[in-house]
Structure 1
């Protein structure tokens, strides 16, 4: 492995990759075990993906990006599977763009990415943290496999450029594409538009013979505080404007680019600005509606597109979760096509199968039940819309009454949680309470799909478009490692 001591780097290459350090179970063996069985026959806890919902959500996002004339870059950190990654970019698309939070995600994508390269598709993958020096040898190995310009990295400090300058071109061919992280107010990563550090980064890139500017990037995690489509669009506008401001500040510092103004007649080179988090990225779907607000934000987007190539990125949108429901970044149904759902419980594609271990009808003022699934099966991420850790779905019914934070607030939720134990609590009126039995299996909607999914090695895949929506059709392996 490489080391970085006192400003010098030993770029010894290594054959160690995440797939070799974290071998996956046999997909063939898992399919023999599960495919053809019903959900109720699976071991618990188990992660269940509804492929029909994932297909719809991915298609909706791609359609919105195409109609708005912007690019789209899919984040794979939520699901960590090749199967959903392919749905995110579209099987027929010539553009294959991803952002990954771990080197493992990049490495596990390689076999399919090579297939895409061989088919002549535009392949571009970003490592989604300001570049770790220890990650450079592994990313360089992928860059050699995929070809020049197909692996990009993030920077928000001049020392990143200094480290990349030391990478021999034989190890990482061509100039390395770098994306500058801009902080639009979340203070998670990135440099504020007014920071002097931005000028230092610009100078480092301009002086470098090993890197080239590919774009500027931001992630607006505060958009999760949205509570309506209108508020989500305001977050989008803030993100767009903050990123534009950061891009202009950076480009002025570099002295290498000119920004087109309303009176300018030429642009020496357009730079890509990439923005998103699922609430703001999916809120762009609201811009396709025929409303005055949509027209206003579309005009803002079109104005920025005069000077920049705009790209959206998002990750959790293929499966969604209770946190996304709470943002209300989109209405439940499209106003132009009322039959199309946008953000409803039928658009949640990830559920967790659990088993009732015991019942406590007289324990407290609320009836309770024990499930054999705690924080290591569900995560411990809260949701702003209700005081629980997951919601019990109507399953095995395809639809029906359940706890709804914006509706009746009546039904079973995971009200308390520990490591292997979860306590279901009945909320609301006990009239017509759903009776549970020891040994009964339930499906839950988790709060945060990204964190919940980490606890599982694979997904059991069903398809609600089938006549038998509970039949397990496939098994998708999740990637492991860092």
Structure 2
């Protein structure tokens, strides 16, 4: 049997660290905390989580939450909700996430909620003993693993032998992203199915379903693009599952698990776009109720015994990358929905150093605080948009503190606009190095940039919250539901599980 994770000492250490951080920060204004620090707005992350749970429930879809973005117990609770009748289905990208979330899963299991955690990286040898320990604690059906090659199967068998429980297995399907997964039209796929079915007959794994991730949907730029990507994901998943059914007609129900934050977020839209007007860059065609289209497109698969599941990870915090996808109408997805920011200080200013004599400013948040992944730009998406001034930075300033009420924020309260990132006006982190972030001004000709001074504090919306979070050990929590008390005052501290 696998060695049991020594969860209690680890949790005790984490609690001690968290209590020390709470004693240090709770009650302080954001003007008093060290910089750079990462801030979560509890109001917004709670709303984003509730929207996803509600949408999945309304559409009859099974929900699986990825926790890699935030790596905290507290936000995981918001992702799965408090309905004791729904299963707690999670995804992790690192083993340390699985180990640290195990106590929470055991808590839910004690309340008779079904639990399962999927390690969402194709299985490798050094993962076996630690995943077996997780499986030992969670019991039967508690652990799922991902497979995309027959040579990974001995690792699955080893987990079974160490833990005494047969892991559930998802086959990772490549939906033309080229990152990981097996293609359903490759000669390797039927051989992999045969090997998995044989292993299932021997009793050391359960072939549970197929898993897709349309990472290319991060490049979506128009309302409707993410909806089409979701359809493509489910079509790939259904094709993959059909090939399993052909070899094993009486197989137990298979899960078709599809999702990335853009494709999962799109299920929150009230209407589904049936047609796309590619030449103009903006959607035309027919909008129909999403529930109606879902029933028409996918309910037949549910009736055939498939379980339709959606998954996503960065949706609780969102970021500039997700706003850029326009996965929901701008009334439902804008910068106002971003729940994460980095607070930084202006260390120096350069009034005329920028392009055409525009100002620049130095902040103490570089690639270690913001990540080095820019929002992907695809100007070919809008063939007629050749004169756009696109956003090309590593973060954008939110209208807070010295910028609140300035021309950076228009009368509607929005600063990014419906054509972001192909059209952007404002302060952006336009250049970046390890500790240095250089703010550059992008504005209309003749429009003066809001003044920044040495000593000012600013908050930056990051491009990609997952990568940005890796530079921090904890989040400072504020809550804009109570603007007089907690919008700029720290009310809690949540510790992250960094590492592997």
Residues 1:251 and 2:245 are matched in the alignment: yes
Q: TM-score, normalised by structure 2?
A: 0.85
Asked whether the equivalents of residues 19 and 107 of structure 1 are also in contact (C-alpha less than 8 Å), the reply is no
Residues 1:353 and 2:343 are matched in the alignment: yes
* Structure 2 Cα separation of the partners of residues 371 and 155 of structure 1: 44
Among candidates 95, 120, 125, match of residue 133 of structure 1:
125
* Structure 1 Cα separation of the partners of residues 144 and 160 of structure 2: 16
Residues 1:478 and 2:496 are matched in the alignment: yes
Among candidates 399, 403, 415, match of residue 394 of structure 1:
399
Provide the residue aligned with 1:218 in structure 2: 212
* Structure 2 Cα separation of the partners of residues 271 and 139 of structure 1: 23
* Structure 2 Cα separation of the partners of residues 160 and 149 of structure 1: 19
CA pair 18-289 structure 1, distance change in 2 beyond 3 A: farther
Provide the residue aligned with 1:437 in structure 2: 453
SS of match in other structure, 1:41: coil
Kindly report the root-mean-square deviation, in angstroms, between the aligned alpha carbons of the 2 structures: 2.4
Among candidates 422, 430, 443, match of residue 437 of structure 2:
422
Residues 1:177 and 2:168 are matched in the alignment: yes
Asked whether the equivalents of residues 287 and 298 of structure 1 are also in contact (C-alpha less than 8 Å), the reply is no
* Structure 1 Cα separation of the partners of residues 476 and 490 of structure 2: 6
Provide the residue aligned with 1:302 in structure 2: 299
Asked whether the equivalents of residues 272 and 293 of structure 2 are also in contact (C-alpha less than 8 Å), the reply is no
CA pair 14-175 structure 1, distance change in 2 beyond 3 A: closer
CA pair 178-18 structure 1, distance change in 2 beyond 3 A: farther
Asked whether the equivalents of residues 50 and 463 of structure 1 are also in contact (C-alpha less than 8 Å), the reply is yes
Q: Give 1:286 shift.
A: 2.0
Q: How do 1:68-467 and structure 2 match up within 5 A? A: 68-93=59-84, 94-167=86-159, 169=161, 171-208=162-199, 209=202, 210-252=204-246, 255-257=247-249, 269-287=252-270, 291-292=287-288, 294=290, 295-307=292-304, 308-333=306-331, 342-364=332-354, 365-383=357-375, 384=377, 386-396=391-401, 401-402=408-409, 404=416, 406=419, 409-429=424-444, 431-466=447-482, 467=484
Q: Give 1:201 shift.
A: 1.6
* Structure 2 Cα separation of the partners of residues 369 and 297 of structure 1: 49
Count of aligned pairs:
452
Unaligned segments of structure 2, at least 5 residues:
274-286, 378-389, 410-414
Asked whether the equivalents of residues 17 and 138 of structure 1 are also in contact (C-alpha less than 8 Å), the reply is no
CA pair 15-212 structure 1, distance change in 2 beyond 3 A: closer
Deviation string 1:11-62 (CA, Å, 9 cap, x unpaired) is 98586899969x7571011111110111111100000000000010000000
CA pair 115-327 structure 1, distance change in 2 beyond 3 A: same
CA pair 380-273 structure 1, distance change in 2 beyond 3 A: same
CA pair 288-398 structure 1, distance change in 2 beyond 3 A: farther
SS of match in other structure, 2:440: strand
* Structure 2 Cα separation of the partners of residues 457 and 45 of structure 1: 12
* Structure 1 Cα separation of the partners of residues 181 and 166 of structure 2: 22
Provide the residue aligned with 2:282 in structure 1: none
Residues 1:58 and 2:54 are matched in the alignment: no
Provide the residue aligned with 1:265 in structure 2: none
SS of match in other structure, 1:78: coil
Asked whether the equivalents of residues 14 and 138 of structure 1 are also in contact (C-alpha less than 8 Å), the reply is no
* Structure 2 Cα separation of the partners of residues 135 and 172 of structure 1: 13
Deviation string 1:258-283 (CA, Å, 9 cap, x unpaired) is 5xxxxxxxxx6321110000000111
* Structure 1 Cα separation of the partners of residues 424 and 174 of structure 2: 37
CA pair 167-319 structure 1, distance change in 2 beyond 3 A: closer
Q: TM-score, normalised by structure 1?
A: 0.89
